[in-house]
């Protein structure tokens, strides 16, 4: 990235998106960046700020090539972001070992995007986490017509509902209800999945802290992992989201690879002090 310009608070930023899931990227490898929840919310405002679903901070790492930190538009920091990891991997180029709060990732840049090894999903109830022990392959719970979701962690918590028609669900209404249910003590990302064929899933996601988004990388990984565990799909699955398509592939060791496009929309300079 170009060198910082202007005041000490003025930083170069890059705006990226993966299938319309958009990110503000700040590089803090050479000079630290201090962010607060309020600052993130102000920057995320699409009328008075820059606007984004997630903010990505690229930082130095003692154990990997780089460390990635992620914030949702509501100002909350989260451990993992699949599309955000792909966007950063696209920006970095080549192959990298990436440290995140959700675990170590290996990335490979490709033409117009990247593939990221998202690791193996975690199914233990306290890893999701849930408020109390339950069968995570099919929770004995229902929210109106949505029932028996799979619950898992792919670096962040997901509840995946399988339905005959993903478009028929009023996600904007029911999504926040499920996200904030006390059974999910750290809230939850809500996936509405329709299995079209054994290699194709149609998916809509209500993201914790961001709302309904055009694409969600960890949501795609979680939906495919849940469908594979239930025997509904094969090892390689095309996931159709409102913004476009991602591909999730399960390796023999159980790791899930997430591949798809990511592009730079524009770049510029931002005075962070203005958004405190």
3-state secondary structure 56-105: EEEECCCCCCEEEEEEECCCCEECCCHHHHHHHHHHHCCEEEEEECCEEE
Backbone angles phi, psi at 225, to 5 degrees: -60, -45
- Those residues whose C-beta lies under 8 Å from the C-beta of residue 274, and which sit 6 or more positions away, are 9
Query: Measuring CA to CA, which residue among 122, 20, 85 is closest to residue 257?
Result: 85
Instruction: Give the distance, in angstroms, between the CA of residue 138 and the centroid of all CA atoms in the same chain.
Output: 22
Catalytic residue ranges? 81, 216
Taking the CB of residue 151, how many other CB atoms lie within 10 A of it? 26
């Amino acid at each position: 990235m170009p060198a910082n310009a202007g005041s000490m608070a003025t930083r170069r930023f890059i705006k990226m998106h993966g299938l319309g899931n958009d990110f503000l990227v700040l590089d803090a490898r050479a000079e630290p960046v201090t962010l607060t929840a309020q600052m993130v919310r102000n920057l995320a405002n699409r009328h008075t700020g820059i606007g984004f679903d997630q903010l990505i901070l690229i930082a130095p790492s003692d154990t990997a090539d780089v460390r990635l930190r992620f914030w949702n538009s509501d100002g909350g920091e989260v451990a993992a972001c699949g599309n955000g990891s792909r966007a950063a991997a696209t920006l970095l180029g080549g192959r990298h070992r990436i440290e995140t709060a959700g675990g170590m990732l290996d990335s490979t840049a490709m033409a117009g995007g990247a593939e990221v090894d998202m690791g193996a999903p975690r199914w233990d109830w306290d890893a999701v986490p849930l408020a109390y022990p339950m069968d995570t392959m099919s929770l004995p719970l229902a929210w109106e017509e949505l029932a028996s979701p799979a619950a898992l962690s792919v670096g962040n918590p997901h509840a995946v509902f399988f339905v005959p028609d993903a478009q028929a669900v009023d996600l904007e209404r029911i999504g926040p209800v499920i996200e904030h249910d006390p059974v999910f003590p750290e809230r939850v990302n809500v996936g509405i999945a329709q299995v079209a064929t054994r290699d194709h899933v149609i998916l809509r996601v209500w993201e914790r802290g961001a709302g309904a988004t055009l694409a969600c990388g960890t949501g795609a990984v979680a939906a495919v992992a849940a469908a594979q565990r239930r025997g509904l799909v094969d090892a390689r699955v095309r996931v159709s989201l409102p913004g476009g398509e991602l591909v999730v592939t399960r390796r023999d060791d159980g790791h899930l690879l997430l591949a798809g496009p990511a592009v730079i929309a524009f770049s510029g300079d931002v005075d962070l002090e203005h958004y405190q």
